[in-house]
Structure formats: structure tokens, C-alpha cells
């Protein structure tokens, strides 16, 4: 009797506790096959610095860089949206013109890097491009713009950027602009959502077939966008406020509303958006992040800042969120909506990092965690790229240009 019970129990035990190696193996297969897309990569911040070559492999432990083509390949990262990022400065005709000039220089840099490495990468603007490049074994470089400041007050700039390959604009960054209110402007709301010009911007983006990105914007801006848009919208790098209560994250109602509209929220891996840090830790991280975003840093400055970052990370290492914490956000969205409305936008090179994922070469651990939680290959393919490509295509099809 005892023996029989044991025999009966055996298959159950092995089913319930799949060996870690078996999970790894299964995950590796799914990961290799899936189209993996990350919708927010700040690698252009590094590319704009003297001497940084995105085609050369870097070492996170040495210079803090998290993305380059060789490490994308190593990690099985098929495509990323490279961010044309401009921190919001004081708005004036001169500064606005300068923002456009800087944006164009970043577009140039991205196109140049791809042109110089035709065997390794290609510019992607459509779903079909992404799957084609994956087949060719090349990295897909999509382009997104973080902060609509360079749109200035001229809708014609949207067409200009669209023609340069731009496929989403994050309407604002950390401060309000002429388009919309940000979720984090120290002075609070300026427009109570979208400005009248911002409404025109959303309509024109719909018309051109460019995705509207509501990461960073205020809750009111989000609801204004939803009211106005004729196609699904995205949050390119946002997490869940229910799990980490910061204004940069989305409330459950916002996530449900976004999903109802057909859109997708791409989970952000910035520690402070995954798990609420202590006030002290928050302040020190913010200070370093702001310094790192400067484009005129000397190699010595960079090294000093990286040392500061390492010391800071070490100090708070045990508090750092883990892969499990990040995947909890993915799972929260799935439970709220379905597996069709969540993806990944880690914000690498922009502050994204959790324990066990220092750079893009390590993204396989996300797939492992999803497999461990019982997600199917089909689900994982949707999370990694299927969902965002579905939205990109819907926006493209909805265009009336
Ligand atoms: Zn951001």
C-alpha cells in the first residue's frame, strides 16, 4: 500500500516541481522563437556621447552601459525602440528650436549607426519589418520620441519625424510642455490634461499612423487622450500604481481603460517604479539619474558617476526589486485585463535595472520567470512582442494620411 501510494505520488511531485533546468531549457526555446521587443531604450543617450559605439560590446560592470547590438544579440533581444529623448527645458522660441535641432541630431545618429552595421541591424517601422529582421537574424531598431517638446508648435514636424522613422511620441517627459501635463511636474497641472495644441497633436498622430505614448503624462492627460484617439494607444514604459504607488505608474482604472481601447502597457523596470523605495534611496537615485542624463559628461565624470551609482546600489542592494517583483507587474495587468494588453519597456540606459538583470544580455530571466509561473509559449510571445506589434499595425491601418 505504501509503495503504491509512493508510485502514485511520483508523477504528481515531478509535475508540481519541474526541475529548474527543465524550466530553463523550455524558456530558452520559447525565448529563441519569440519576437522580443522592448519599447523604451535610452541607448541614444550613450550613442550621443563621444566614443560610444553601439556596435561594440560593452560591460555593465565597467561603464554602466546596458545596451549595444552584440549584447542585444546575446540576450535574444530582437528589437528595441531607441528613444529620441529630450529632457524638458524652459520653453522659449530659442529653446524650442534648439530642442528640434537636438532631436534631429539624435535621429541622424541612430540612422548612421544602423547604416554602418547593415549586417547586424535594420531600421524598423512596421510589424512586418520586425518579423523580417528577426528572420534575418538582425536587430530591429524602431524609433520612439520621449517628450513631444521637439514638435514645437508646428504639426508639420510630426510628418517630418514620421518620415525619419518615428513611430511613437511620449507626449511629455517629467515636466509639462505645450502639448500636455506631466505626471511629475513640480508645479502641478498647467492644462488639466491635453492643451488645445495637444489635441491637434493627437489627431495628427492618429492621421499619420504614429502611436501616442501616454507614459509620463498626468492622469488627466491620459483620459483626454483616450477620449480623443481613434486607435489604440500605448504606455511605452510604465508600471502599475496598485503595486508601486507613484504618479508615474498607471492606476488599475487607467490600465483597464487602456486595454478596453485595445492598447498595451509596457512594464518599466526602473527600481523606483517596480517597488517603492525608501525616501532616502529615492532621492539619491534621482540625483544620480539626473546627472547621468547630461550629454556633455567627460569620461572622468562618467566614471565618477558610475562609481557613485555602484556605491549607492550596494548600499540599497537588498531593497532592490527582483525579476519576480517586475513580473508581478506583468501578471497584475494580465489579471486586470488579459494577456493581450501587456508588454515590456524596461527603460535600460534610463535607470531600468532589477536584481538579476543588469543589461540587455540577461533578458532571458524574464522568460524563465514567466515559464515558471505557467505561462504558455503563446502567452509569452504576446507579452514579448506580439501585443505591441498588434497595436503598431492597428495604428498604421487606422491612418488616413
Ligand atoms: Zn521615461
- For residue 400, the model assigns a pLDDT of 87
| Coil vs helix vs strand at 98 | helix
How far is the centre of ligand 1, averaged over its atoms, from the C-alpha of 233 (Å)? 16
- pLDDT confidence bin for 17, thresholds 50/70/90: low
How far is the centre of ligand 1, averaged over its atoms, from the C-alpha of 173 (Å)? 7
Q: What is the dihedral of CA 153, 156, 161, 164, to 10 degrees?
A: -160
- For residue 11, the model assigns a pLDDT of 47
Q: Report yes or no: 118 and 124 within 8 Å, Cβ to Cβ.
A: no
Any residues with CB less than 8 A from the CB of 335 and at least 6 apart, and which?
none
How far is the centre of ligand 1, averaged over its atoms, from the C-alpha of 291 (Å)? 15
Per-residue cell: 83: 528613444
Q: What is the DSSP letter of 228?
A: H
How far is the centre of ligand 1, averaged over its atoms, from the C-alpha of 236 (Å)? 9
Q: Residue 12: pLDDT above 60?
A: no
How far is the centre of ligand 1, averaged over its atoms, from the C-alpha of 268 (Å)? 9
How far is the centre of ligand 1, averaged over its atoms, from the C-alpha of 242 (Å)? 19
Strands 342-344 and 264-267: parallel
Residue of 285, 274, 277, 376 lying closest to 324 (CA atoms)? 274
Model confidence over 38-71: pLDDT tens digits?
999 999 999 999 999 999 999 999 999 999 999 9
How far is the centre of ligand 1, averaged over its atoms, from the C-alpha of 349 (Å)? 10
How far is the centre of ligand 1, averaged over its atoms, from the C-alpha of 237 (Å)? 7
- For residue 15, the model assigns a pLDDT of 47
- For residue 319, the model assigns a pLDDT of 83
Q: Which residue has the cell 510604465?
A: 238
Model confidence over 237-283: pLDDT tens digits?
999 999 999 999 999 999 999 999 999 999 999 998 999 877 787 78
Model confidence over 291-326: pLDDT tens digits?
888 878 888 888 888 888 888 878 888 888 999 999
How far is the centre of ligand 1, averaged over its atoms, from the C-alpha of 170 (Å)? 8
- Tell me the residue ranges of DSSP E strands in 133-197: 139-146, 166-170
For 165, counting Cβ atoms within 10 Å of its Cβ (0-12 exposed, 13-18 middle, 19+ buried), the class is: buried
- Residue of higher predicted confidence among 288 and 137: 137
- For residue 308, the model assigns a pLDDT of 87
- pLDDT confidence bin for 287, thresholds 50/70/90: confident
- For residue 229, the model assigns a pLDDT of 98
- For residue 128, the model assigns a pLDDT of 98
How far is the centre of ligand 1, averaged over its atoms, from the C-alpha of 347 (Å)? 7
For 343, counting Cβ atoms within 10 Å of its Cβ (0-12 exposed, 13-18 middle, 19+ buried), the class is: buried
Q: Residue 167: pLDDT above 50?
A: yes
Model confidence over 318-357: pLDDT tens digits?
888 999 999 999 999 999 999 999 999 999 999 999 999 9
The domain defined by 35-275+321-397 folds into TIM Barrel (3.20.20)
Average pLDDT, rounded, for the chain: 93
CA gap 66, 260 in Å, rounded: 34
CA geometry: angle at 268 spanning 262 and 273, to 5°?
A: 120
- For residue 18, the model assigns a pLDDT of 62
Q: What is the DSSP letter of 24?
A: H
Q: What are 355's strand-pairing partners? A: 322
How far is the centre of ligand 1, averaged over its atoms, from the C-alpha of 83 (Å)? 9
How far is the centre of ligand 1, averaged over its atoms, from the C-alpha of 172 (Å)? 9
The structural domains of the chain, with segments of one domain joined by +, span 35-275+321-397
How far is the centre of ligand 1, averaged over its atoms, from the C-alpha of 216 (Å)? 7
Model confidence over 64-94: pLDDT tens digits?
999 999 999 999 999 999 999 999 999 999 9
How far is the centre of ligand 1, averaged over its atoms, from the C-alpha of 147 (Å)? 9
Residue of 210, 322, 215 lying closest to 268 (CA atoms)? 215
CA gap 346, 70 in Å, rounded: 18
- For residue 231, the model assigns a pLDDT of 98
How far is the centre of ligand 1, averaged over its atoms, from the C-alpha of 153 (Å)? 22
| pLDDT above 70: percentage of residues in the chain | 95
Per-residue cell: 118: 547593415
Q: Report yes or no: 266 and 394 within 8 Å, Cβ to Cβ.
A: no
For 219-235, what is the mean pLDDT?
Answer: 98
Mark out the alpha helices in 17-155 (DSSP H runs): 20-33, 43-47, 60-63, 69-75, 93-116, 127-136
Q: Report yes or no: 261 and 55 within 8 Å, Cβ to Cβ.
A: no
How far is the centre of ligand 1, averaged over its atoms, from the C-alpha of 155 (Å)? 23
Amino acid at each position: 500500500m505504501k509503495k503504491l501510494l509512493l508510485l502514485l505520488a511520483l508523477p504528481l511531485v515531478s509535475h508540481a516541481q519541474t526541475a529548474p533546468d527543465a524550466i530553463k531549457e523550455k524558456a530558452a526555446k520559447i525565448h529563441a522563437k519569440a519576437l522580443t521587443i522592448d519599447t523604451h531604450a535610452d541607448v541614444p543617450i550613450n550613442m550621443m556621447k563621444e566614443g560610444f559605439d553601439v556596435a561594440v560590446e560593452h560591460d555593465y560592470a565597467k561603464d554602466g552601459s546596458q545596451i549595444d547590438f552584440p549584447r542585444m544579440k546575446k540576450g535574444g533581444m530582437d528589437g528595441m525602440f531607441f528613444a529620441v529623448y529630450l529632457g524638458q527645458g524652459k520653453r522659449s522660441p530659442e529653446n524650442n528650436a534648439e530642442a528640434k535641432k537636438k532631436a534631429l541630431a539624435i535621429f541622424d545618429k541612430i540612422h548612421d549607426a544602423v547604416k554602418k552595421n547593415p549586417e547586424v541591424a535594420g531600421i524598423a517601422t512596421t510589424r512586418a519589418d520586425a518579423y523580417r529582421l528577426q528572420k534575418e537574424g538582425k536587430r530591429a531598431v524602431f524609433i520612439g520620441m520621449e517628450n513631444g517638446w521637439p514638435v514645437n508648435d508646428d504639426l508639420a514636424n510630426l510628418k517630418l519625424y514620421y518620415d525619419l522613422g518615428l513611430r511613437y511620441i511620449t507626449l511629455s517627459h517629467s515636466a509639462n510642455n505645450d502639448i500636455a501635463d506631466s505626471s511629475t511636474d513640480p508645479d502641478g497641472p498647467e492644462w488639466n490634461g491635453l492643451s488645445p495644441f495637444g489635441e491637434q497633436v493627437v489627431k495628427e498622430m492618429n492621421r499619420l499612423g504614429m502611436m501616442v505614448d501616454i507614459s509620463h503624462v498626468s492622469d488627466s492627460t491620459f483620459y483626454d487622450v483616450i477620449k480623443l484617439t481613434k486607435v489604440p494607444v500605448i504606455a511605452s514604459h510604465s508600471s502599475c500604481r496598485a503595486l508601486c504607488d507613484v504618479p508615474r505608474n498607471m492606476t488599475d482604472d487607467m490600465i483597464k481603460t487602456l486595454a478596453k481601447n485595445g492598447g498595451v502597457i509596457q512594464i518599466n523596470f526602473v527600481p523606483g517604479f517596480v517597488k517603492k523605495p525608501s525616501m532616502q534611496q529615492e532621492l539619491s537615485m534621482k540625483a544620480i539619474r539626473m546627472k547621468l542624463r547630461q550629454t556633455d559628461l567627460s569620461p572622468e565624470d562618467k566614471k565618477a558617476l558610475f562609481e557613485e551609482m555602484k556605491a549607492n546600489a550596494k548600499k540599497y542592494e537588498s531593497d532592490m526589486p527582483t525579476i519576480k517583483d517586475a513580473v508581478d507587474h506583468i501578471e497584475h495587468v494580465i489579471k486586470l485585463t488579459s494577456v493581450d494588453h501587456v508588454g515590456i519597456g524596461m527603460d535600460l540606459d534610463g535607470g531600468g535595472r532589477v536584481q538579476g538583470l543588469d543589461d540587455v544580455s540577461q533578458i532571458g530571466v524574464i522568460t524563465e520567470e514567466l515559464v515558471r509561473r505557467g505561462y504558455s509559449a503563446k502567452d509569452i510571445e504576446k507579452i514579448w512582442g506580439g501585443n505591441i506589434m498588434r497595436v503598431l499595425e492597428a495604428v498604421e491601418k487606422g491612418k488616413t494620411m
